[in-house]
């Protein structure tokens, strides 16, 4: 029972590089979310999607992009990595907006 | 805009003693309230939720939470703490616009 799978688990980038964080869920959930977790700051919503083809900005979307071509996948793109994007990134999904979210184990990203 | 506050960064209790992790919220309309737990190097795991109904909500691993509308609080409780309960706990609130906000987290340490 995989749930939400995130890859890679760890990554180090140089300033200005780009990369895509992958997220896949096998629960047929409509809603998917990307968060970043910084120490002592809780989780901040970056982007979310309410279904395939529909995405919207969260609280901290600058520097990121997303797409949702299928129900299962919700990749997060960093185009020009900056040190301020060093964080732990979590993907989550839920069946409906008022239902509990299921989280992946995170991607730890360092930008040097 | 809605918000959620966890006034304690750290809570220490002895094994076998009752524990309380505090959460207060501010939201327009009826709140949807959640508690999640995070173990090291893992994503958040759902513990319990309040949407409507009884003010005392029972969840996973013997945890419960009491919704208090007049005090706008949703404190997490457990009658007898275990060392294995040591983790990071997050309160979250979703309002009628489906915007989700997480608290900054409270680190619970249960000492043998």
Residue B35: CB atoms within 10 Å: 28
Q: Select from A57, A112, A108, A44 the least CA-distant residue to A84.
A: A112
CB distance A42–B103 less than 8 Å? yes
A-chain residues near B41 (CB < 8 A)? 105-106
CB distance A98–B94 less than 8 Å? yes
How far from A48 is each of A54, A56, A60, A82, B109, CA to CA, in Å? 9, 6, 11, 22, 33
Contact of A82 with A111, CB cutoff 8 Å: yes
Min Cα–Cα distance to chain A from B18, Å? 25
Distance between CA atoms of residues A4 and B29, nearest Å? 31
Distance between CA atoms of residues B60 and A85, nearest Å? 34
Distance between CA atoms of residues A52 and A44, nearest Å? 22
pLDDT in tens, B43-86: 999 999 998 888 999 999 999 999 999 999 999 999 999 999 99
Q: Select from A21, A72, A34 the least CA-distant residue to A51.
A: A72
Min Cα–Cα distance to chain B from A88, Å? 10
Query: Structure tokens of B112?
Result: 């043998």
Task: Give mean pLDDT, residues B6-22.
Answer: 97
Give one DSSP letter per residue of A42-108, joined into a string. Answer: -EEEEEEEEETTEEEE-S--TTEEE--SSSSB--EEESS--GGG-EEEEEEEESSTTSPPEE---EE
Rounded to 5°, angle at Cα B36 from A66 and A72:
30
Min Cα–Cα distance to chain A from B11, Å? 14
How does pLDDT run along chain A (112 residues), one tens digit per residue?
679 999 999 999 999 999 999 999 999 999 999 999 998 788 999 999 999 999 999 989 999 999 999 999 999 999 999 999 999 999 999 998 888 999 999 999 999 9
Contact of B29 with B51, CB cutoff 8 Å: no
CB distance B32–A45 less than 8 Å? no
Nearest to A100 among B9, B42, B49 (CB): B49
Q: How far is CA A57 from the centre of its chain?
A: 12
pLDDT at B54: 87
Phi/psi at B85 (nearest 5 deg)?
Answer: -75, -10
């Amino acid at each position: 029972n995989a749930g939400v799978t995130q890859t890679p688990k760890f990554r180090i980038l140089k300033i200005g590089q780009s990369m895509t964080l992958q997220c896949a869920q096998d629960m047929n959930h409509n809603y998917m979310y990307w968060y970043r977790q910084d120490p002592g700051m809780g989780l901040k919503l970056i982007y979310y999607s309410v279904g395939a083809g529909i995405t919207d900005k969260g609280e901290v979307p600058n520097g990121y992009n997303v797409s949702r071509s299928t129900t299962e996948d919700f990749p997060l793109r960093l185009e020009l990595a900056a040190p301020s994007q060093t964080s732990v990134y979590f993907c989550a999904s839920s069946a409906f907006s008022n239902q509990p979210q299921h989280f992946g184990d995170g991607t730890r990203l360092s930008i040097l | 805009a809605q918000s959620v506050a966890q006034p304690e960064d750290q809570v220490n209790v002895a094994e076998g003693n009752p524990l309380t992790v505090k959460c207060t919220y501010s939201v327009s309309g009826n709140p949807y309230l959640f508690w999640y737990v995070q173990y090291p190097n893992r994503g958040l795991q759902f513990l319990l939720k309040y949407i409507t109904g009884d003010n005392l909500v029972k969840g996973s691993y013997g945890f419960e939470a009491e919704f208090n509308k007049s005090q706008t609080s949703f404190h997490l409780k457990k009658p007898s703490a275990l060392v294995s309960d040591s983790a990071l706990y997050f309160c979250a609130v979703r309002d009628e616009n489906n915007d989700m906000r997480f608290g900054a987290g409270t680190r619970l340490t249960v000492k043998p």
